[in-house]
C-alpha cells in the first residue's frame, strides 16, 4: 500500500513538475524580451511578435537580439543540464561536472591563443576552432581515462588535464596586452550577449542529434548507480559505457563553449534540483527534466545578467557561478544540520 502511494506521488510530480518548469520558463522569457531599451507596452510587444508591426527598431531589437538570445540560452542550458545528469550518473558522483572533462579549458585555450598571438584567422572560424579545442581537451581526458579503474581515477585525470590547460591559459593571458584581455574577458566568463540567429543555427543541429542519443543511456545510468560490480553483473561493460558517455558529454560541452564560452555550474545544479523535486534517482525522468531545468536556469540567469544592473551587463557566467556556489554552500550547511539532501 505504501509503495503504491509512493508511485502515485511520483507520477503526480512527474506530471506537475514539467508544467511548473514551463511556467517559470515563460515568465523568465517574457521578462527578458519585454525589458530594456526601447521600452514597449505589452500590446506593442505582442504586435511585434505575432503581427510583425511596430517600428523597425522595435522589430530589430526583438527578433534579431532578444529572441535569438533566449532561444540560444534555452538550448545551451538544456545541453548543460543533460551533461550534468550524464556525468553524475556515469561517474556515480553527484559532484561530477563538465569542468572535469577539460573541454571548457581546451576551448578557452584556443580562443586565448588566437587573440593573444594575433593569428590571422577569420572571426567566422573562431567558433569552430573553439569547438576543436574543446574536443581535443575532452579527448585527452577520455583517452587517459581508458587505463584508469574506478571513478576516482577518472576524476583525478580530468582534474589534472583541466589544471594543465588552465595553467597554459593563464600563461597566455599573462602575455596579452590590455586590449587582448578586454577581448577575452567576456568570452572566458561565459556570455549570451550579442548572440544572433547564426549562433542558434550552429547549435541547433548538435542539440537535435545529441540529446536523443543521451536518452539511450538512461538504462545504463540507472545500472551504474548500483555500483560497478552490480552493473557488471547485469551485463554492463562498465569502462566502455563510461568512456562512451564521457565522449558524448565532450561533444555536448564543446559546442556550448564554442558558442557562449564556459558557463559554469548549470550542469551541476540542474540534476540536483530535479532529483530533489521529483524524489527519485531514475535517469529516465531525471535526464529530460534536468535538460529542461538547465535551459530555464540559464535563461533566468541571463535575464538577471542583462537587467539587474542595466544598462551595464555582467556576463551570465558570473551569475551562474554565484548561483552555483551559493547553492552548494546551502546544501552543505543543510547536510551538516542533518536535514538536507545529500549532494
Give a yes or no: residue 41 inside a domain. yes
Q: Would you give the end-to-end CA distance of the chain in angstroms?
A: 30
Asked if the model's pLDDT at residue 149 lies above 70, the reply is no
Residue 184 belongs to domain spanning: 2-336
What local confidence, expressed as pLDDT, does residue 73 receive? 95
Give the contacts of 56 (CB within 8 A, at least 6 positions apart): none
Least-confidence region, from 20-34, 87-101, 256-270? 87-101
Domain count, the chain: 1
What local confidence, expressed as pLDDT, does residue 308 receive? 85
Give a yes or no: residue 342 inside a domain. no
Tell me the C-alpha distance between 51 and 42, whole Å.
Answer: 13
Region label for 237, one of left (φ > 0), alpha (ψ between -120 and 50) or beta (otherwise)? beta
What local confidence, expressed as pLDDT, does residue 146 receive? 67
CB 200 within 8 A of CB 256: no
Asked if the model's pLDDT at residue 104 lies above 90, the reply is no
Asked if the model's pLDDT at residue 133 lies above 70, the reply is yes
Residue 234 dihedral angles phi and psi, to the nearest 5°: -90, 5
In this prediction the pTM is 0.88
Residue 329 dihedral angles phi and psi, to the nearest 5°: -65, -45
Give a yes or no: residue 343 inside a domain. no
Specify the CATH number for the domain of residue 202.
1.10.3470.10
What local confidence, expressed as pLDDT, does residue 26 receive? 92
Amino acid at each position: 500500500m505504501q509503495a503504491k502511494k509512493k508511485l502515485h506521488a511520483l507520477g503526480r510530480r512527474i506530471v506537475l513538475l514539467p508544467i511548473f518548469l514551463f511556467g517559470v520558463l515563460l515568465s523568465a522569457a517574457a521578462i527578458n524580451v519585454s525589458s530594456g531599451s526601447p521600452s514597449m507596452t505589452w500590446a506593442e510587444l505582442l504586435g511585434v511578435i505575432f503581427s510583425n508591426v511596430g517600428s523597425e527598431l522595435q522589430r530589430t531589437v526583438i527578433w534579431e537580439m532578444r529572441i535569438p538570445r533566449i532561444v540560444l540560452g534555452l538550448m545551451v542550458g538544456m545541453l548543460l543540464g543533460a551533461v550534468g545528469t550524464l556525468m553524475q550518473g556515469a561517474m556515480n558522483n553527484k559532484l561530477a561536472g563538465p569542468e572535469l572533462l577539460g573541454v571548457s579549458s581546451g576551448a578557452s585555450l584556443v580562443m586565448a591563443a588566437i587573440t593573444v598571438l594575433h593569428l590571422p584567422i577569420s572571426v567566422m572560424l573562431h567558433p569552430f576552432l573553439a569547438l576543436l579545442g574543446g574536443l581535443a581537451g575532452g579527448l585527452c581526458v577520455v583517452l587517459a581515462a581508458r587505463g584508469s579503474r574506478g571513478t576516482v581515477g577518472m576524476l583525478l585525470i580530468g582534474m589534472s588535464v583541466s589544471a594543465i590547460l588552465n595553467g597554459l591559459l593563464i600563461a597566455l593571458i599573462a602575455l596579452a596586452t590590455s586590449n587582448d584581455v578586454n577581448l577575452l574577458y567576456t568570452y572566458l566568463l561565459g556570455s549570451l550577449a550579442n548572440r544572433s540567429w547564426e549562433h542558434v543555427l550552429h547549435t541547433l543541429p548538435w542539440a537535435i542529434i545529441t540529446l536523443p542519443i543521451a536518452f539511450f543511456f538512461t538504462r545504463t545510468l540507472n545500472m551504474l548507480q548500483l555500483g560497478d560490480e552490480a552493473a557488471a553483473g547485469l551485463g554492463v561493460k562498465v569502462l566502455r559505457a563510461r568512456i562512451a558517455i564521457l565522449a558524448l558529454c565532450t561533444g555536448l560541452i564543446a559546442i556550448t563553449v564554442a558558442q557562449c564560452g564556459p558557463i559554469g555550474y548549470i550542469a551541476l545544479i540542474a540534476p540536483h534540483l530535479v532529483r530533489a523535486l521529483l524524489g527519485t534517482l531514475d535517469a529516465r525522468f531525471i535526464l529530460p527534466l534536468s535538460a529542461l531545468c538547465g535551459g530555464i536556469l540559464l535563461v533566468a540567469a541571463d535575464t538577471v545578467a542583462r537587467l539587474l544592473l542595466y544598462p551595464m551587463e555582467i556576463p551570465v557566467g558570473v551569475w551562474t557561478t554565484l548561483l552555483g556556489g551559493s547553492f552548494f554552500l546551502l546544501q552543505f550547511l543543510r547536510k551538516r544540520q542533518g536535514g538536507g539532501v545529500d549532494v
